[in-house]
Structure 1
Amino acid sequence: MIVTGPSGDRSALSEISARILEGVAAGMSSRQLASRIGMSHQGVDYHIGVLLRILRVPNRTALVSRAYQLGILSTDCWPPRVTAEHQHCPSRRRRA
């Protein structure tokens, strides 16, 4: 997924970062995300830190807000999903 930050810089986000962003937007904790994705909660926290830096926001709440503002997250579904144009792999299968 390619994301343009607030200052216009473009950064590529991995598939795992997209899944983590969706989980954060759904209100999941780092431990819940770690269990769902199959990594340590420290690994999840690392990816969240990367997302915070890319989007230049101070916390998880601002991260979700900025992701919606930039159109990264879809506003028409729950749980939140990364929009098709921001997906790294368009053929990615989603859980129902």
Structure 2
Amino acid sequence: MLEGIAVGTSTVELAASLYLSRKGVEYRIGLMLRQFQVPNRVALVSRAHSIGMLTVGTWPPRVPKHFVVQTD
């Protein structure tokens, strides 16, 4: 989801690609905003980039595998 936010994907597009509802995506984005203590998506991407959570020098930005949590 963070990768999609970083490239400017809309909430509706994220929901469709992740098989979630629009409200589900908004909820998860809200959780990330609170966790990173930022006011908006731009600040979220900036904070994620500054702590190394998004790769440098690639487009689209990717989240390194050691930051990905697998849920089953």
TM-score for both structures, normalised by structure 1: 0.69
Q: Secondary structure in 2 aligned to 1:62?
A: helix
Question: Which segments of structure 1 move beyond 6 Å, counting only runs of 4 or more?
Answer: none
- The structure carrying a bigger helix percent of its residues is 2
TM-score computed with the length of structure 2 as normaliser: 0.90
Question: Given the alignment, which residue of 3, 6, 26 partners 1:45?
Answer: 26
Equivalence for 1:28: 9
Question: 2-side partners of 1:80 and 1:38: how far apart?
Answer: 21
> Runs of 5+ in structure 1 lacking a partner?
1-19, 90-96
Partner of 2:62: 81
Per the TM alignment, residue 80 of structure 1 is displaced from its structure 2 partner at its CA by 1.4
Work out the number of aligned pairs and report it: 70
**Larger strand share, 1 or 2:** 1
Identity value in percent: 47
Give the RMSD, CA atoms, in angstroms: 1.0
Encode CA deviations 1:42-88: one digit per residue, 9 max, x unaligned. 10000000000000000000000000001011112211110132122
Name the SS of the counterpart of 1:81 in structure 2.
coil
Higher relative contact order (CA 8 A, sep 6+): 1
Distance 1:23 1:81 in 2: 9
Residue segments in structure 2 that go unaligned for 5+ positions in a row: none
